[in-house]
Every structure is written in C-alpha cells, then in structure tokens.
Amino acid sequence: MAGAMGVDVGELRGTHVPVLLERCLELLAPALDTERPVHVDFTLGLGGHAEAVLQAHPTAVLIGLDRDTEALEHARRRLRAFEDRTHLVHAVYDELPEVLDRLGFAGIHSGLFDLGVSSLQLDEPDRGFSYARDAPLDMRMDQTRGLTAEDVVNDYEPGELVRILRVYGEEKFAPRVVSAIVRERSATRITSSARLAELVRDAIPAAARRTGGNPAKRTFQALRIEVNAELAALESAVPAALDALLPGGRLAVMSYQSLEDRIVKRAMAARARSTGPIDLPVELPGTGPTLRMLTRGAELPGEAEVAANPRAASVRLRAVERLKDRTGEGARERPRMSAQGARGRKRPGGRTEGEDA
C-alpha cells in the first residue's frame, strides 16, 4: 500500500526494526497488567513499538503522538486492526497535557520515548536528514511548518551557527565549518545536503576525518536539533510525562546522543531521591522520592541487538516506575544509610556524588 510520498508501507514495515523492542516490552509490562491501561507512544514513527504493545496487551489503549504527518499516515495503516483502541495525534511530545485533556484521560499507565530521527525520515531521500544522500536541505520533522535547515545554514549569523554546531553537535571544528559555509553562501545559496556534507568534510582536518565516521554527522545532528527545537521540547516533555504517570505507571526513554540522555537522566533522578535533610531519621512530608529507577544507569544494547539493527548502536535506555505509595506525602522512617551513601546524597544547592552513569 502506498504512503503519502508514494512509499510502500509494507516495504517500510519490512525494513524497519524497532530498537530494543523486547526489553521495552519487558519493562513496561507490569504497568499494563490492569483493566484498560493507557499507553502513550510519544514518538510513534512507523508504529513498530506501538504495534507490539497492542498485540501483547489486548485491552490496552494507545495514544500515539508524532509531529510528522507522513509517519502518522504510515502508522495509521499499520495499526488499522487496532483502530478501536488507538488515538493517533499530530502533536509534539511536549503537548501531552493538552492531548490528554482533549481525549479525556486523567493519567497514563505507561509511556515510551524513542528519540532522535526516525527510520522513515532517514530513509526518505527528499527529507534532507541524511548526509549520505543528496536532497533539499529541509530536516523538518513536521513539514507543515517552521524553518528548514536551508534557512538556518544560509540566514543565521556566523556566531549563532558556531554555537549551534558546538552545543548541539559537539563539533570541535565548528568555527572552521562555519567559515566554509559563510564563504559558500556569500557566492551562492546552499540548498543541497550533499553540498553541505562536502563543505563540512573539506573544512575538517584530514587527520580528524580518519576516525569517527562521516565528518558531517555532527553538523547534520546539530542542524536537525535546531530546526525541530528538539531539546527544548524534551526538557518540558519528560517532566510532563512523569507528572502524567498513574501510581505504578512506568516510563521508558531511548536516547541516541548525550544531550538527550542528560536531560532524561536529570529529570528522572530528581524525582528518584529525597529532597529533605539527610540527617533526619524520618522522611518529611513532601520530600520523599516519587519514582523508582528500573534501569541501573543507562542500559546499552547488546552485540546481538546491534548486529540485527545497526541503528541501535548508540541507544541508551532509561526507565522508571512511579511509586504506588507516594513516599513524599507523609512522614516515614528512612532506611539506614552508610556514611559513604550519605556522602552520595544531594544536598540543597550542592552537587551529587556517586550518581549513576
């Protein structure tokens, strides 16, 4: 069946391999073991993870969010057999509160984020996400609105471009890359992903090009994040998702680069520890943890997973459960902690030592 851009949805389904599928199902399953549970797929994409959840939990209701209208169309076709218990919504993941209010749900039992660029966006040559294929410089996940990568590359001030490449792409040769871009655009507008990739490659020293994969990778990542305001949306989306979890609810997040993972880690860790004075024998009301970490630090994919699905190579998975007994709502005795453990606790205004990776 043809998709919105003439792509066969069956072909996409055959080539798309959901990342860490079995592990995500395992982590979320206890929260979905209830009558009519509500699961949110914050990054629906081609619907692989969502389909597996619906198959494994025959009474579950799915709320699938995606800003990409083409992805939504493909997912709608894939999930047609479950349409009586699915709500697919054109929205960015930080719009969850509005979506839940509109659909009449008070909270959710489970949620999953699969961050970064989707298989559809990478594999569709006209989207401009890939540095390995020539395409118009677009990179918008939602092609109905917003600036394109072409706008950013050609119209941003040089200093702002350097900042974007350094912060979002962690590109240490950002000034050299931007100098090459500015020289090129002063002569002719940069409109091609292949031409941009060539400019980046030539700007980076030969010695640095020999390791780390395609030298344009970091620049393309930075532009994609800027075009889609990904980090700003994520900074509000993760707390909103945690707020929406019902007691016993679970949230899993898969990140693919350190900037995303850092945001997720901080949001989860802040709610998984006490905020009260460390030397009191009881937890003060409102200061106890409200989350339990389900993963020890960030879980990485195994060799078999990467071999079967190379796009899983950089994934980092974190998951939490909202405590059924909200320990922050009443005084309770604190478990005894060693001096070493106490030193690892976060003090108000201080830094945490011994925090997980």
Do 280 and 139 contact (CB within 8 A), yes or no? no
66 is in an annotated binding site: yes
CA 50 to chain centre: 15
Both tokens of residue 175?
A: 């000034």
212 is in an annotated binding site: no
Do 86 and 226 contact (CB within 8 A), yes or no? no
104: left (phi over 0), alpha (psi -120 to 50) or beta: left
Those residues with Cβ within 8 angstroms of residue 317's Cβ, 6 or more apart along the chain or in another chain: 20, 23, 24, 252, 253, 254, 295, 298, 299, 300
Both tokens of residue 77?
A: 């076709």
Count CB-CB contacts under 10 A for residue 151. 14
Q: How many CA atoms lie within 13 A of 241 on its CB side?
A: 30
Residue 332 burial by Cβ neighbours in a 10 Å radius (0-12, 13-18, 19+): middle
330 is in an annotated binding site: no
93 is in an annotated binding site: yes
Please calculate the CA angle 181-122-320 and round it to the nearest 5 degrees. 110
CA 268 to chain centre: 14
248: left (phi over 0), alpha (psi -120 to 50) or beta: left
153 φ/ψ angles, rounded to the nearest 5 degrees: -65, -40
111 is in an annotated binding site: no
Known binding positions for S-adenosyl-L-methionine: 47-49, 66, 93, 114, 121
Binding site residue list = 47-49, 66, 93, 114, 121
